[in-house]
Structure 1
């Protein structure tokens, strides 16, 4: 990318030198009664400006992208540079064509004021993109929920955000549907956005619910569920809870967070519900839940005298 940029800058310099040479030696050829010198000078100047803008974008962008390790940051840097150099190239091109820079800037201001009323939604989307870039409610790769859309952010362009859908109308249980949902960036200015995977705590809390009969030894069953969850999750949950506590300490929120899985007992009409609470990566939620179901039910079945299920009752 940087090599292409240097070639473009070199070509821009050559075109500029060529236009100055033509102006100096009075190129007075004409065709069909039209003097060619103004047209040639305008064409060379316009090509030089556009090549200079592209070359500067390629050189600066290549340098910044090479020194940016995060894919998310590279995506943002690329978009900001495209918008900046694109706007400069358009303004410079109008200046070359009209040969009046001050009037061009004034005209752009008037046109921009008119466009504000004519293209409100695209402008709101552009403002939404600026908000996303500055405040970072989500980035590329995050799992988010915005309005009725849930999924992983694939790209964030100037006007829209592309989301790789999960759940939706085709599947459930946090599984990808294979569809790409395009969300206008203006949506973020008026809707609630939930980020399941941000730069802060990258894990979320999940619950696994199992129904047992009233005759069950609840203390034994709860201990068994905690034991299986702790063994399966290992020290990963403790590490993430420590990060969770560290982030909470930076806020005025006071919250007691357990570093090991817990079980809440909820009484229903005809059975008792044991809800195992644990922390997990949002992209592994279904996989972990299925594995814990299998392990816990297998252990429950080993103790039919102490763990009973509400068979034959209204559920």
Structure 2
């Protein structure tokens, strides 16, 4: 569809160019020869007709080339997220170039157009501070990559998966929110001004070279529980589900740490931390997981842990009381 539309727009642009180049002199000849009959002077029509056709040529050529170039990106740039960013940059470049060219055609003064754009741009800066801040935020996003399409992020109160980064706004498929919880999609789309990336904290759950996060699963047991058995069971379950994958992912994290002055002791296997409460004990299983698999992994681990606990009722007890 895009290919056909691109060729159609280019054909219209070519037809406009041919009209200016070949038919404009013929039009002058016809109108000039019959000026007394038609009552129309060729000089009254020629400038506007010519400039209009040239503008159509420029706009059509820019749009058609952009459409065909965006199709070619699919073959050159395999990564969907990179392709999305390059397409946005191309679109902005073609819009700016076409606007300057059309303004130059109508004024006939290219230098004056550029100078006027500078003055007008200075004035617009004060009137459109928020959109311009968002445009600057988009440039920052393209350059520094705090996030990109496909990442799960949180900005202020908005949390979700990035589906589009436009010139002015970033669009997210919402996760959590006020409709659901536990890192589940809500089905709503949220738009965030790009300017927020310059002033607010951005939490990225899935950066390019390490798209994983540590997550925890809590299980509450009584003080009568055999804590060594409970902790070992939780570690075994998590190791069976995630052990080898977690070790490989942790090695990637350690390589990232080696590039920084930060020194951390990171376990490459699931661990269990203990916290004592008034009438019960909290066992926290800590493991590494992809952010989009957090809830599914937690459910699987919890089901298996509870099943094994129930198989040993004499070793595991659960707290009873209304203060839990």
With the length of structure 1 as denominator, give the TM-score of the two structures. Answer: 0.93
In structure 2, the CA distance between the partners of 1:226 and 1:36, relative to structure 1 (3 Å rule), is: same
In structure 2, the CA distance between the partners of 1:153 and 1:32, relative to structure 1 (3 Å rule), is: farther
Of 6-15 and 187-196, more deviation after overlay is shown by 6-15
Name 1:102's counterpart in structure 2. Answer: 111
Of 135-144 and 229-238, more deviation after overlay is shown by 229-238
2-side partners of 1:293 and 1:58: how far apart? 50
Q: Is the 8 A contact 1:5 1:58 kept in 2?
A: yes
Query: Which residues of 2 match residues 136-215 of structure 1 at below 5 A?
Result: 136-215=145-224
The alignment of Structure 1 onto Structure 2 pairs a total of residues equal to 315
Which of 282, 288, 291 matches 2:297? 288
2-side partners of 1:145 and 1:45: how far apart? 47
Q: Is the 8 A contact 1:137 1:195 kept in 2?
A: yes
Q: Is the 8 A contact 1:142 1:197 kept in 2?
A: yes
Q: Is the 8 A contact 1:19 1:45 kept in 2?
A: yes
Name 2:16's counterpart in structure 1. Answer: 15
Query: Which residues of 2 match residues 227-306 of structure 1 at below 5 A?
Result: 227-306=236-315
Going by fraction, where is helix more abundant, 1 or 2?
2
**Are residues 1:76 and 2:85 paired?**
yes
How far off is 1:6 after superposition? 5.5
1:139-158 CA-to-partner distances (Å, cap 9, x unmatched) read 11110010001111111111
2-side partners of 1:236 and 1:44: how far apart? 62
Gap runs ≥5 in structure 2: none
Q: Is the 8 A contact 1:2 1:63 kept in 2?
A: no
2-side partners of 1:149 and 1:277: how far apart? 26
1-side partners of 2:177 and 2:25: how far apart? 67
**Are residues 1:64 and 2:73 paired?**
yes
How far off is 1:215 after superposition? 1.7
Task: Give RMSD over aligned pairs.
Answer: 2.0
How far off is 1:2 after superposition? 5.5
1:18-73 CA-to-partner distances (Å, cap 9, x unmatched) read 32335656716266655222222112211221122223323433333321101101
2-side partners of 1:234 and 1:265: how far apart? 21
Name 1:130's counterpart in structure 2. Answer: 139
Q: Is the 8 A contact 1:165 1:179 kept in 2?
A: yes
